[in-house]
Amino acid sequence: MSYEEFPWFKDQPLKAIIHIEQPAPGHLYWPDIDVDLSVASIENPGRFELVAKG
């Protein structure tokens, strides 16, 4: 995961990045930074429009 494609993680402490929840199959949530992504968007970021900017 590059910071260019996933800017929400760039300035976050490691503790926030590794604190991940899986609220549903194929869906990941980082509660400390309020980011939720589908696994498909992580595997194929070019297929998904960037909605928020960091």
Q: What is the pLDDT of residue 5?
A: 84
Q: What is the pLDDT of residue 32?
A: 97
pLDDT digits (tens, 9 = 90+) for 29-43: 999 999 999 998 888
Alpha-carbon dihedral sign for residues 9, 20, 2, 45: negative
**What tokens were used for 13?**
């402490």
Check: pTM over 0.85? Answer yes or no.
no
pLDDT digits (tens, 9 = 90+) for 7-25: 889 999 999 999 999 999 9
Cβ atoms within 10 Å, residue 34: 9
